[in-house]
Amino acid sequence: MKNILILADGSIAKHFVKWIGKRRISENKYHVAFYHQEFLSEKLDRSITGHFCDPTSYVKLLRLISSVKFSMIFIVLDEKDDMVYALQNIRKIDQKVFVVVLDRWGNNFEEKHNITILDQNQLMAAHLYDHLPNVPVMAQNVGLGEGEIMEMMVPFGSSYAYRHVGSISQRKWKIAAIYRDKKQIIPTSATMIRPNDILLAIGKPLVLDGVYKSINRRQGLFPEPFGKNLYLLLDMKHDQESSLKYFYESIYLLEKLEKKHLYVRIINPSHFSYIEALKADTRDNITIHLYYDETHINELIEYDLQNFNIGLTLCSTDTFSDHRLKNQFYNLKKLVYLFGDTSLNSITDSVVLLTNENEMESISATAFDFSESFKFKLKLYNFDPDGDFENKKRIVAHFETLSQIFNYDISITHEISNPVRRINGMENILQIVPYHLKMRKKSFFTILSTRVQDYLLTIRRHPKLLVPIETTET
């Protein structure tokens, strides 16, 4: 049982004592010292004991503090001089007891050890500020109270909407809870964030401030929230002849985006004429790194992705398959751009082949953001050999809703055809596809399959943007 002493006078003190009575914390015993008889006009809770005592009187305060061992003392008084004298009297009696003072006059007390000064003007200004639009709500009385705990509402059109929690890069911050329809959700990696969700985030205040701005801003963010910068991986065993082509495609992509950096990692370097040609195009927002060792390549790549805050990795299908990067990039939840025979600067349309609802919701926001960044026409194709188009109605409605929110037109085509043959016959397109671990290398069975994920690594005509998703949803 802890004994708490409250030196009380005025309306704030009266509300404070009433609040204590409502909360009824059984581990605490409260002693309220007051010097106006009308202060305690109402019946006190049994956990509260009243004392008629003038806190400005050293003798009376000494008698009260000597009779009970108090672990904390609150000074909540209506008069400035009373507050100053009460604090001086307490420190004469006990130098170590913890004191909380409500300062209504801006006395600028020096906050020494065992004393907390609550500036009423700052507290009220902070609460008023929290109610302004476009201002994040930060926990004031939890943790350090410095903004390391923050509430963020996800608006319609946010780049965070329709993302799985596990697909969002959470470096130096974490989504601890989600509030939806007045219910709390403890998220897993498979939990999908939806518009109007309130995220409770924990992390460094400066990082959270940046996250808040990202959530409430839509244009010019790609590849966020998967990360910020671009990473070109060139394995000279596979990419030597195409290295310059891939490099300039990456620069083209970089120039379309806002305030991004391109990091180039070259592994297994051999013919240095290609490398010198790459280095000849030096820019402030491009950094080239070479790695000569053939061991620990995957550990190096993981370090690069984390250290350089990478959101989009660019590589060839051969490099992607050779180093078993499929699992590594997926586990790190990074977007992957696979180069195709068609160069990026020749692309006119971005194409989404409709699959199941969970996959389509997961990639929809990225499809709009990417298409808008590059001014591509976004086209949805519902290819079904059996002509069963009814089961995709909800998916189509979802994309139509986002089209209105993003104010970006889409075209939707329903067609009875084999999706593999149909997509292979298209010109100047880029595929935006769900990225999961079911993608296969070329085999006899992929020739017979009509499933989208079975040919992603076999048909190299079109470049592809792989968007990591979770296979299940909470």
CATH class, 229-338 region: alpha beta
The gap from C-alpha 61 to its chain's centroid, in whole angstroms, comes to: 51
Residue spans of the domains in the chain: they are: 2-124, 133-215, 229-338, 344-468
Long-range contacts of 281-286 (CB under 8 A, 24+ apart): 281/247, 281/251, 283/251, 285/254, 285/260, 285/261, 286/251, 286/254, 286/261, 286/262
Q: Which residues pair with 351 in a beta bridge?
A: 379, 431
Tell which residue, 315, 321, 298, 314, has the closest CA to residue 441.
321
3-state secondary structure of 147: coil
CB-based contacts of 214, cutoff 8 Å, min separation 6: 159, 160, 221, 224, 225
| Residues 249/281, Cβ–Cβ less than 8 Å | no
Token reading at 12: 């704030």
User: 440-468 pLDDT, tens per residue?
Assistant: 555 444 444 555 566 667 778 899 999 98
User: 323-346 pLDDT, tens per residue?
Assistant: 778 888 888 888 999 999 998 889
Can you give the pTM of this predicted structure? 0.67
Q: Residue 337 has what pLDDT?
A: 95
Q: Kindly provide the b/e burial profile for residues 370-393, where b requires at least 16 CB atoms within 10 angstroms of the residue's own CB.
A: bbbbbebebbbbbbbeeeeeeebe
Query: Quick one: fold of 2-124?
Result: Rossmann fold (3.40.50)
The phi and psi torsions of 108 (rounded to 5 degrees) equal 55, 50
User: 40-98 pLDDT, tens per residue?
Assistant: 656 677 778 888 888 889 999 999 999 988 989 999 999 999 999 999 999 899 888 88
Q: Residue 445 has what pLDDT?
A: 45
Q: Residue 444 has what pLDDT?
A: 42
Q: Residue 140 has what pLDDT?
A: 65
| Residues 114/88, Cβ–Cβ less than 8 Å | no
Tell which residue, 435, 442, 370, 358, has the closest CA to residue 398.
358
Q: Residue 110 has what pLDDT?
A: 64
Query: Quick one: fold of 133-215?
Result: Alpha-Beta Plaits (3.30.70)
CATH superfamily of this structure's domain 344-468: HUPs (3.40.50.620)
Q: Residue 246 has what pLDDT?
A: 94
Domains 133-215 and 344-468 share a fold: no
Residues of the chain with pLDDT under 50: 443-448, 473-474
Distance, CA of 396 to CA of 392 (rounded, Å): 6
266: left (phi over 0), alpha (psi -120 to 50) or beta: beta
